[in-house]
Structure formats: C-alpha cells, structure tokens
Structure 1
Amino acid sequence: MNYDMWILGLIAGLMGIFTSYILYLSRTAENPLRKIITYILLAMMNGMLLGPSIYLSGVITISLEDAIVISAGLMAIEIIYPLILFVRSIEQEDIEIRISIPVIIFLTLLNEFLMSLDFNSIILSKTIFTIYGTSFVALISQTVSSFWFIFPMALEMGLTAIFTIRKGEKIAFIFIIFQSLVMFFTPTAIPQNTWISISVFAGGAVMTALLIFIFESLYRESYVNKNFSRYLLQILLIYGLMMIGVMIFQYESSVLIVSIAVLLEMIVYINAILRKNYFSGKGKVYWLANKEWSTLFLMDVFIAEFAMGATFDFQYYGTSFFINSLHLAVFSGSIINMITEFFYNTVVFVGGITGSSWFLIMMGFEMGSLVVFKIMKTRELENKIRLGLMIGAYGIYSILIPSFLVTNSRIYPFIGWSMGIGTAGGLAPALIIPMLLTYVISGSLSLLFGARQLCSVFCTAPLMYQGTFYDSMKKFNRTTPTAKKLSTGGERNLIYRVVSFTIYISLAVAALFSFLYHYHILNYEIYGTDPLFFMYIIIFDIMWYAVFLTMPYFGNYGCINTGYCHWGNFNRFVGKYGLFKLKVKDPSQCVTCKTKDCALACPVGLSSQPGSFISQGQFKNSRCVGVGDCVEACPYENIFFYDVRNFLKEKVMKKE
C-alpha cells in the first residue's frame, strides 16, 4: 500500500476544507479583524508551500532545513501587509478595510497550484524540473489538470456552496453542487484508460443532468437573478471550452485547453462566491423577453452539448476509428484547394458529430426528460400518448434501429430515409425505390393523421421543441418582429418562399449530380462523399441547428415557419388534402370565450383558430401539426383532434 499517497491525499483534503472555510470567512467578514485573518491565512499557506516547491524544483540544491527556513521567511514577508492593516484598524476604528477579491482568487489558486506541484513531485520521486523540463506551459497545464489540483478544487467548490449559499439562492446552490461533480469527473485528473472512460461518461451524465435542471428551473422561473444569469452564461461557455479540451486530450493527450478551462471556471466561481448576496440580489432578468440573452444561452448550451457528444463518440468508438470513419480530406494543393478542403472537413466533422449515435442519445436523454416533465403537466390523454410515442419514436426510429440493429438501414423505407431524399446517402439505383416508398408511406400517414405524424412524432425536431423549456420559448413568436412576421405570414411570407425554394433547388441539383454519378454518366463526388448526402449534412445536420439556436429571433418551430424542412413541407402539403383538423364540440362556446387561449398557446404562432371555430366549427391549416397545446389550453375543454379514427367511427355509426 502506498502510504505516501494516502497521507498526501488526507493533507490535500484537509487543505481543501481549510480553504473552503477561508473563502467562507472572506464572503461573510463584517469586521476588520476577520477580513485581515483571511489574508493572513492565505498568505501563510502560500509561504508554507513555496519553500517545498523551491526544494523540489531541482533548479537549485538546498537542504530540507533550508526549505523550512525559506517557508518561514516567506510566510513572515507575506503577512506583513495584513499586519499593517490590522494595526491601522486598531489605531483608526472608522477605517474601512476592503477585501481584494482578485488577490484572494490569485492566492487561492496559487496555493492549490503549489500543492499540486509539490505532491506530484513527491509521489513521482522526481524533481519538478525533471518532470516538466523547461516548458512553462507544460508546468502550468499538467499541474492544473492533475488530480492533486482537480479533486481539491471540486471539494472546495462543493463545501463553499454549502457554507456560503443561503436559502434564497437555491437554484445557484444546486447548480454549483453539480459544478463540483463535473469538476470531479475531469478526465485528465487520472491519465489512465479506466478513469478516462468512466469520467467521460459519468461527467457527461452529470452535465446532462445539470442542463436538465437549468432548463426546468428557467421554465418554472421566468425571472432570473441578473448576476446568476451572467454566471450561467460564463460557466456554460467554459464547459464548452472544457469539452473541446477533453476532445483534444482524447485525440493527442494534450491537457492545455482543459487546464485553461479549469482555471477560468475557478476564477469565475470564486469571484462569485466571494461577493455577498451575489446570487440573491434584487436585479432580475425576464429571459423570455431578452432575445439576446436567450440566444447566447442556447448557443452556449449547444457548444457544450456538441463537444460532449464528440467526447462520447471518441471514447466509445475510439478516436482514430471515429475520425477515420468520417473520411476527411487531406490538405494539399493550392490555397483555394485548402480552403475548400477545410470547408468540407468542417461540414463533415460537425455533421458527423450531430448525426452520431451518442450525440443523439445524449440529446434524447436531455430533451426527452423535458418532454416527460411536460407529460406530467399535460391534462389530455391523447396529448400524453402522442408525447410518449414521440419519445419512443426518437429512441427506436432515430437511434436504436439505424445505429444498433440494422447495419444498412438506408435500404429500408421509412427507416433509412427518415427525412426524404438525401437522408441515408446518394441516389443510387438500388435506393430509388425505397426512397420513393418512403414518400408514399409518409404521405399516406399524413393523409390519414395529418403532418403531425412527422412534425409531432417521427421527426427528431419535436422532441427538441416540445419539452417544457423549449415550448415556453413560443412566446418569442409574438414578441420578436421577425418571428411574428414568419408565424403570421405563413407560406405567403417572402422569407418562407425564398428559403423553401433555395432548399428545393439545392437538393434537386445535388440529387441530379448524385443520380448521374451512380449511373456512371458523370464522375463527380465531393472528396469521396456523394453530393446529395453532403448537401443533406449541410441542411439538416448543421444549418438546422442554426435555425433552432436562433429561436428567440425566428420563433419556435422555425423549421415550419421558414419553410426550411423540405420533408415537412411535403407532408404538410399532402396533409392539406387529408382528414386531420381541429374541431370544437360547441362553436357557441367560442363566441363567448374571452381568453382566446387556443391561439396564444400555438407553438407555430397560428392565431386564426377562434374565428375559424366560430364560423366553421373546425380549424384546418397546413402549418398546424397537431402539437395539441391549443387543446390543452382551452379552458372549456372544447377542442379535439379529428383524423381517420374519427372518420371511420362516423362511418360505422352511420351504418348502424
């Protein structure tokens, strides 16, 4: 048994507890003496650790006794300033002593850094110079990314949250506890395959749970503390950087980006925790009226999700195997060639991640949880069933079958070709009939049940749009000028016409090139990738997320209101001639209704339901995809869905 490791671990833990208490004192200090004590304690710790660092450095040779003397001397020097402040506070009772937050942050991190540096040297039985050489970057990054730094920091983060955050700061408290767990599961802490594998998936699970918690908290409390809203954006952006760092670590064992992210996170955290009432101040942000903040939040979340999905893929498949499977182009030739190769590689890499099994699994757990919360709040049984089917369809149809059960899913209609032309590959001869069958099957379902079969069940998008948090963002449909124009204009809107036409032409041209290539009429590929499949990656695996992330500007269900999704456009066009519609039990009830909640609840932004219900007793619109929020919102429970089931029931009743 390595007793040195256990002893040093105990010391590191005690120092973590001690530092947490010092930070607590710093935050709550009211009288001059307590403020000065925090300086003295941090300065003494710093001096105590500097002596061993010099002794272990290997740059100069000194005895252990000399190291102790140096530590004592440094401690004495560093406490001179706090002692001067103490004397002044006695002589002048009304003097105000302020705690310098940057100094406390610097001393706290420096102490943890020196401890990590010293303990690494002791455990490895090597001098610091022997371990890191002359590279200052290696010295900093490897020390910060080691478990001697990571684990005490995680402990300090959790303990300071317990010590300092009050009842009025519940969301911030839970968020920081999650933060400490994410910090603990930093993959670079222990550079061993078992730990890396465990920490990647465990840390990802904790981060996913953290995001779910934040989503649901924002849904329940539209007004967020102003400081916490800023803190939230900063930490999420740092998490994105950290996940990118983990990707790089998995690929080439570099810990630089991870260490930068760890330091930034601790700076942001300590700065917040030292400020009294930071998370419980009076300033509030109504995020549903702040499209800039909401957009930044969505982008921060997506960056973290994207990089986290990539770390899952790298860990599960192996970094080299996964990257090689993307068939990236090799940089060569002229500058123009290299620019096009860079563009191609970016598209294929980003699309390879967003379309990968593990990214979709992670998103499924995250978004699916929000849908489960919505099911719990939903009154109508049919809506509950549809939301349940939507989760099941996502898991089975988007992940399980194409990724794990069917090795060549593209040849099976309505599995491989889930989003129409281009989904699973080029327009090869063997795939034309399955692709056409997909249109027949999906179109038939839209005739019978409306486009809701796609836009509210089978497509991956509704899982993302219809959870509690994202559903609440439909308010932007009526408050943001562009979103309002899109939701009210429909297919007549110029943006809709331009976007849908551009998508149709792009896919048609790519399909033509793909068809000619597979029939050996034209030898054209994009660095080995079929042009139709490449276009599909751009449209659905990359640009779709741009539409989704700009929801505060373009509104909820931008894929419908902008005409962006050609597959949805096709099914909604067919659905116009089908049986699906919304009907009311009693049109006269709509005449006396003063709330018009059905229109306000529509996530697509449709607003003509009340008038149509009054005049016709029903509502039919190509952009109505049967989400059911209007049915749920009606205070009289007057609205119901009408589709092939009702049609057949009426036919049977007539015969009887």
Structure 2
Amino acid sequence: MEFNLIFVLIATLMTAFSIYLIYLIKKGINGLGFLVVLYLAGSMVVMFATLPIFFSTQNKITEAITLLANSFYMILGLFAILALSKKKLDNVRNSYTLFLFAVIMAISEALMGETFYSIETKTIGNPLLGVENYYYFAVMASEMLFTLVYFFKQTSYPLREFLIILLPLMIISPVIFPSNSTYIYDTTWVSSSLMIIGTIVIYETLYRSRLKQNQETMTSFELMIIYTLMMAGEFMFFLTGIWYLFDFSMITGMSWFIFRAIAGPSKIKGNYVRDTKWTFAFIFLTFVMEWFMGGVLDFASGVFSSGLSGFMSSLALGYVSPTSYFGLGSLFDFLSIVSTITGSVWFLLMMGTEMGMLAVFRIKDLKNTENKIRFILMITAYAVYTIYLPSFSPIASKVQYIPYMWSMGLGTLGPVSPSVLLTGIIGTYIVSAGLSFLFGSRQICSVTCTAPLMYQGTFYDSLKTFNRTSKLGRKTLSSRLKSWFKIITGIVWGSLLAMALISYLDQIGVLNITVLGNDPTVFLYSFYFNFLWYVVFISIPFMGTYACVTQGWCSWGAFNQFFGRLGFFRLKVRDPQQCVKCKTKDCTKACPVGLTDMPGNFIKKGEFKAYKCVGVGDCVEACPYDNIFFYDVRHKIRKLFNH
C-alpha cells in the first residue's frame, strides 16, 4: 500500500510537470526557452531510464550509476544551453524538434511505468513493459486530454476529429489490466468498434473534401498507420501472449497525438482521386488493418484458438511445410492464412459495417427513387443474405440445400456433393439465371453480391475516376469485350468447371484428388474470392472500379451478366435528341464500369444494353436532364397490358 501511494504521488507529479511543459510549448516558446523545455523533458527520460537499474539491484554500484548518469546529463545539458545562449536560435522550434518533444514525452512516461515495474518485481524489463500499467495510462490520458482541450480551438478540421477519436482508443486499452482476460476481451470489442468509427470518419473526411486540390491525405495516412499498429499488436498478443507491439503502438500513438495537436496537420498534402500511388498505399494499409481486426475478432469470439498452434489449427485450408513441393508450400500457407480471415464471418461483418455506413451516407445524395430502393436492398442483402442466414440463422446448416442460397456459384459452401447438386447448386444457377433474365445482372452484381456494397459507398465510388486515368482502367472503357477479357473469363470458368467435376467424382468415390487435403472447388473458390478478389479491390487505383466486371475475374458475375444480356434489362432514354444536345456526357463519367459508348447508343437506338452493364444506376443519377431510366420485365408486362 505504501508503494502504491508513492506511485500515485510520482504519477501525479509527472502529470503536472508534463502538462506544464506542454503549456509552455503551447505558449509558442522558442529559441533558448524551447531548448530548456527539451532539456527538462529529457531529464525525465534519463531519470526514469536509470531508476529501474537501481531498484532492480539496490547496491552501491547501481546507486552510483544512477547518480552519475543523472549528474552527467544535468551538467552536460547546462553547459550546452549556456554555450547556445550566445547564438541566434530563432529557428530552433520546427516540426522536427516538436516531434522530438512529443516522442520524449511519450518515452518518459513509458520509462516511468518501467520504474514502477522494477520496484515491484526487483527486475529490469524493457520500456515497453512500462506501458502495461494503469499509472502509465492515467498520466497519458491526463496529458492527452489537457492537450486536446487546450489546443481545441486552434486545431482545425479534420485533425480535431481525428484526435477526438484517437483519445478514447488510447485510453480504453486491453493492457491496463493485462492479467484480466475478461477485461482484455471486452476492451478488444470496444477498441475495434471505435476503430471502425474512426476509419469511417477518415473515409468520409477525404470524400467530402475530394474537390479540393489539397487534402489532409498524409495526416489521414499517419492515423491509419497507428490504427494498423494497434490492431497488429492485439493480433500478435492472441498469437504469442506478448503485448510488445501493442505497447509500441501506444507510444507511437501518444507521440503522434501530442505532436499533431501542437504542430497541426501534416504539410504534405494531396488529393486522393488524383494520386494513384498514395491512394493504393492508403487502401492497402486500410486492408491490412482490417485484416488484423478481423483476426482479432475471430480470436475474441472463439473462432480461433489462442496461440500460434491454435491459429494454425484453425486455418480453413490447413497448413503444410513451407518448404514442401519445391517451396510452393509457403505460397499455399500464405493463401490459407490470408483467406481464412477474409472468409470469416467477423471480417465480413466488420467490412460490411464500414462499407455499409459509407453506402448509407450516399443514400441521401441519390435523387432516383429506384436507386435509393436498390441501395436499401443492397445493404439489407449484405446483412441478411451474406451474414445472418449462412452464419447465425436457425437454418444456417441447411442453406446449402436452398436454391439461390448457394451464393457466388461453385465451391462456396462446400464440395459438389450429390446431396446439394440438384437443389443447392443447380437450383441456384437456375433461379439466378431467371432473375438476371428478368431484371438484369444487377440482382447479383448490384444487390446481393458483397462487391457492390464495397464499391458503391461514398469514398470508394469516387475512385471510379481511375477508370479513366489509370493505364489499365482506360483499356476497359466501353462495352466492347476485349480478347483478353474473354481469355480471363474462360480461364476462371474453365478452372471452376474442371475442379467441380473432380469434386463431384471425389464425392461419389470415383476419384480421390485433393489440393493439399482440400476439396478442389473449395480451394479454388477460396483463391478466387477470398484472395484474388481483394487483390483486385485493393488495386482500384491501377485497375479502376468494378474490375471484377470489366476484366472478367468473377465467374458468378459473368454467368449472371450473360443471362442479363439476353434478358429484358436495359437503359432507356425518354428523348434521344436530348442526348444529341448534351455536351457534358455526365452519364459516361459516372458509370463505375466505364461504359463510355452509352450516349451513342442512346442517340441511335434510344436505349443501351451491354454485357458489362450491371445496373448500378449512377448514369441515371448523373444525367442533368433526368432523361435515363431503367427498363426490365416490369415495363414489358406493363406495356403488354396497356396494349
């Protein structure tokens, strides 16, 4: 109890002293005064770096080392300050020295925690262990809260919102009480929820300022790095039982928080719809963060067993020796690790929450009633069709036998067994082909598939500009099917049919062929939809949006697009002459699959019908004359009855 009181006193003094230093920085102190502040902050680092040595082994030698180190710092620092006092130091305060100050503040608190650890255990750990106690978090929270409140009026949008969201993420940490497993799991769910909100805010912030030449792109990227480090740290804990990476993310997060609150947003700016490399890096980093978050939620929900061996035993495709099959085993293991999480229900639920909110935000910008209804159906379909029915519903174990529920074609729910072949698989293809014939392939590609929810929210929808600006995206423009499109579609379909045949023959006992222990169609489906699809999605800046449609990567989409092309669905215009007069051709710019030949068809035929048209309806929204409308079996029936 005595030590606890001492700890509280030290932590309180540390907080007061640190807040005072931040206050001095806030006042705009510069020159020699700024160096004095750095010197005082550094004194805390030296003091708390040497005290653990003394408390771990209390003898004359460690006592001398502690006294000498602190005395040497004090004397050397004072001499340096006196030497510099005769020079002009007007430019000593800059972004680099402010960042140094922020890092020193964060490290000093971690070392304070390490000092408390050494007093309690009589051993030396490392500065990262100092993060794992509530004294550290009390000091950190107090300093960050003071910094936010004190700098609030001077902090501009969106940095202010970024700091507001990061603060509770830093405070609600699973390492405050690392021995309490219930607390760890509870805070894991809370921190994941807060991070989802933070990610949505970043997306929306960038989207709302997309017309500006300069945006806070680098500031957003920095925050996403912190999110990624935090999720990776939690993931590594469930794998190894060690918090060190998460501890490092806490120090990094606090350093960034104080630095950005003082220095303001990054001076490196850009515009994400014009910067291909930045946008790719940002999407890739976001995916990595979301992948770690999906894994953390799988651990927290019991889908994965804790520990490295538990995780490996939970892999959907299994694990083989990385050196097996002339090194191909390592590629298989990489695929198995990545696709296990991307195919898990918690990853899909987390992604659906983020992308679904972006889609909800976009609804209010839509003017076409039918498109608003489609958006509501799309969001509902993801929640019910993709998440609830196959994973949580009372009929979850029976959905494979219900037509239209064997989603995404071959290999989704399991092997091609005789028991599901007729109603589950063939029934799904028949029902889906019929719906595509009547209403167009939009019933899949713009409603029930997971892709439209991810492509059509505010931020990701704005990336369709890369359809025209990226080298590969430009090659997919217009409704014409290029020869390489047909080759890709043929390879995807041919491989799935071949694997489906092998799978069926395996199931009836004629063959016994597997892919490293996996059913052929399950393996290939996992490769195409749990791995390759995300590669295509992340590569939007280089491929354009909806590359699954424009380049033929999706077999299920290609099947429904074929029957949609044969059926009733098309786009029509009320007055072709209006298209002749139109100078902007906004419909082609808005199309997420790059159908640039729409206006010509509208003028010649009064309608547009194409294999690649999946009925997103952005052209209907973009038309300034409200001239374009959807046409499908409903209009055909209405026309027949009117006659």
Match for residue 135 of structure 1?
Answer: none
Cα deviation, 1:174-219, whole Å, max 9, x if unaligned, reads: 1123223222233233211121111111111111111100111111
Match for residue 117 of structure 1?
Answer: 114
Q: C-alpha separation between the residues in 1 aligned to 2:102 and 2:85?
A: 27
1:109 Cα deviation (Å)?
3.6
Distance of aligned partners of 1:536 and 1:13 in 2 relative to their CA distance in 1, 3 Å threshold: farther
1:107 aligns with 2:104: yes
Q: C-alpha separation between the residues in 2 aligned to 1:399 and 1:98?
A: 53
Distance of aligned partners of 1:260 and 1:315 in 2 relative to their CA distance in 1, 3 Å threshold: same
Match for residue 58 of structure 2?
Answer: 60
Q: C-alpha separation between the residues in 2 aligned to 1:28 and 1:76?
A: 30
1:76-115 equivalence runs, <5 A:
77-84=72-79, 86-87=81-82, 91=86, 97=92, 100-101=97-98, 104-105=101-102, 107-115=104-112
2:330 aligns to what SS in structure 1? helix
Instruction: Tell me if the contact between 2:382 and 2:449 (Cα under 8 Å) persists in the aligned partners.
Output: yes
1:304-323 equivalence runs, <5 A:
304-317=289-302, 319-320=304-305
Instruction: Tell me if the contact between 1:251 and 1:319 (Cα under 8 Å) persists in the aligned partners.
Output: no
From 272, 278, 282, the equivalent of 1:297 is: 282
Distance of aligned partners of 1:154 and 1:414 in 2 relative to their CA distance in 1, 3 Å threshold: farther
Distance of aligned partners of 1:393 and 1:278 in 2 relative to their CA distance in 1, 3 Å threshold: closer
Distance of aligned partners of 1:299 and 1:93 in 2 relative to their CA distance in 1, 3 Å threshold: closer
1:150 Cα deviation (Å)?
4.8
1:71 Cα deviation (Å)?
7.2
Instruction: Tell me if the contact between 1:561 and 1:604 (Cα under 8 Å) persists in the aligned partners.
Output: yes
Structure 1, gaps ≥5 residues long: 133-138
1:222 aligns to what SS in structure 2? coil
Match for residue 346 of structure 1?
Answer: 334
From 269, 288, 299, the equivalent of 1:284 is: 269
Letter paired with 2:48:
L
Distance of aligned partners of 1:424 and 1:12 in 2 relative to their CA distance in 1, 3 Å threshold: same
Instruction: Tell me if the contact between 1:250 and 1:319 (Cα under 8 Å) persists in the aligned partners.
Output: no
1:172 aligns with 2:172: no
Match for residue 418 of structure 1?
Answer: 407
1:403 aligns with 2:394: no
Instruction: Tell me if the contact between 2:437 and 2:568 (Cα under 8 Å) persists in the aligned partners.
Output: yes
Instruction: Tell me if the contact between 2:323 and 2:330 (Cα under 8 Å) persists in the aligned partners.
Output: no
TM-score normalised by length of structure 2: 0.90
1:159-558 equivalence runs, <5 A:
159-164=146-151, 167=154, 169-191=156-178, 192-222=180-210, 228-266=216-254, 272=260, 276-279=263-266, 281=267, 284-317=269-302, 319-320=304-305, 324-326=313-315, 329=318, 331=320, 335-337=323-325, 339-405=327-393, 406-414=395-403, 416-433=405-422, 434-488=424-478, 490-491=480-481, 493-558=482-547
Instruction: Tell me if the contact between 1:364 and 1:394 (Cα under 8 Å) persists in the aligned partners.
Output: yes
Instruction: Tell me if the contact between 2:216 and 2:269 (Cα under 8 Å) persists in the aligned partners.
Output: no
Letter paired with 1:60:
Q
TM-score normalised by length of structure 1: 0.88
Cα deviation, 1:132-161, whole Å, max 9, x if unaligned, reads: 4xxxxxx34433344444554455445434
Cα deviation, 1:624-648, whole Å, max 9, x if unaligned, reads: 1111111111112121111122222
When structure 1 is superposed on structure 2, of 515-524 and 222-231 the one drifting more is 222-231
Distance of aligned partners of 1:92 and 1:539 in 2 relative to their CA distance in 1, 3 Å threshold: closer
Instruction: Tell me if the contact between 2:415 and 2:504 (Cα under 8 Å) persists in the aligned partners.
Output: yes
2:630 aligns to what SS in structure 1? strand
1:566 aligns with 2:566: no
Letter paired with 2:285:
D
Q: C-alpha separation between the residues in 1 aligned to 2:138 and 2:333?
A: 37
Instruction: Tell me if the contact between 1:416 and 1:423 (Cα under 8 Å) persists in the aligned partners.
Output: no
Distance of aligned partners of 1:645 and 1:496 in 2 relative to their CA distance in 1, 3 Å threshold: same
Distance of aligned partners of 1:535 and 1:17 in 2 relative to their CA distance in 1, 3 Å threshold: farther
Q: C-alpha separation between the residues in 1 aligned to 2:491 and 2:60?
A: 74
Cα deviation, 1:52-99, whole Å, max 9, x if unaligned, reads: 434422x23369xx97x9878765543445544554566556776457
Q: C-alpha separation between the residues in 2 aligned to 1:327 and 1:453?
A: 29
Structure 2, gaps ≥5 residues long: none
Letter paired with 2:454:
M
Match for residue 127 of structure 1?
Answer: 122
Instruction: Tell me if the contact between 1:157 and 1:177 (Cα under 8 Å) persists in the aligned partners.
Output: no
Instruction: Tell me if the contact between 1:158 and 1:176 (Cα under 8 Å) persists in the aligned partners.
Output: no
When structure 1 is superposed on structure 2, of 605-614 and 294-303 the one drifting more is 605-614
Cα deviation, 1:24-49, whole Å, max 9, x if unaligned, reads: 53466344343133124314433553
Letter paired with 1:127:
K
Instruction: Tell me if the contact between 1:331 and 1:338 (Cα under 8 Å) persists in the aligned partners.
Output: no
1:290 Cα deviation (Å)?
0.9
1:377 aligns to what SS in structure 2? coil
Match for residue 36 of structure 1?
Answer: 35
Q: C-alpha separation between the residues in 2 aligned to 1:95 and 1:241?
A: 36
1:583 aligns to what SS in structure 2? strand
Letter paired with 2:283:
L
1:309 Cα deviation (Å)?
0.7
Distance of aligned partners of 1:98 and 1:620 in 2 relative to their CA distance in 1, 3 Å threshold: closer
- Aligned residues between the structures: 634
When structure 1 is superposed on structure 2, of 604-613 and 457-466 the one drifting more is 604-613
Instruction: Tell me if the contact between 2:445 and 2:451 (Cα under 8 Å) persists in the aligned partners.
Output: yes
Cα deviation, 1:463-487, whole Å, max 9, x if unaligned, reads: 0000000000001111112101112
Q: C-alpha separation between the residues in 1 aligned to 2:343 and 2:399?
A: 15
Q: C-alpha separation between the residues in 2 aligned to 1:410 and 1:483?
A: 37
2:478 aligns to what SS in structure 1? helix
Larger helix share, 1 or 2: 1
1:16 Cα deviation (Å)?
4.2
Once the two structures are aligned, what percentage of the paired residues are identical? 36
Q: C-alpha separation between the residues in 1 aligned to 2:448 and 2:590?
A: 22
From 599, 611, 616, the equivalent of 1:610 is: 599
Letter paired with 1:436:
I
1:189 aligns to what SS in structure 2? coil
When structure 1 is superposed on structure 2, of 337-346 and 473-482 the one drifting more is 337-346
Distance of aligned partners of 1:235 and 1:495 in 2 relative to their CA distance in 1, 3 Å threshold: farther
